[in-house]
Amino acid sequence: MAASLAKAIKDKYGVDCKLIEGGGGIFDVKVNGTQVWCKQKVGRFPEPREVFEQIDSLVKT
């Protein structure tokens, strides 16, 4: 999942993503230190479009 999301982000935004390994099923997406997705809070992995929406909202503000 993480690798395909990282590729999708690279394809859309042209930036490289870094996977930071953790444990316990944690899957967070952060942009410049701002958390845009937390699997623990939502209860599932994101679809790429959901992450894109969050990234786009950060860019617009």
Rounded mean pLDDT for each run of 10 residues along the chain, 61 residues in total: 89 88 86 91 94 91 61
Domains in the chain: how many in total?
Answer: 1
Residue-number span of the structural domain to which 12 is assigned: 2-60
User: Rounded to an integer, what distance in angstroms lies between the CA atom of residue 57 and that of residue 45?
Assistant: 19
What CATH number is attached to the domain comprising 34?
A: 3.40.30.10
pLDDT of residue 25: 85
pLDDT of residue 61: 61
Best CA proximity match to 37, nearest among 19, 55, 23, 56: 55
Task: Please tell me whether residue 3 adopts helix, strand or coil conformation.
Answer: helix
Both tokens of 10, joined, read 């690279």
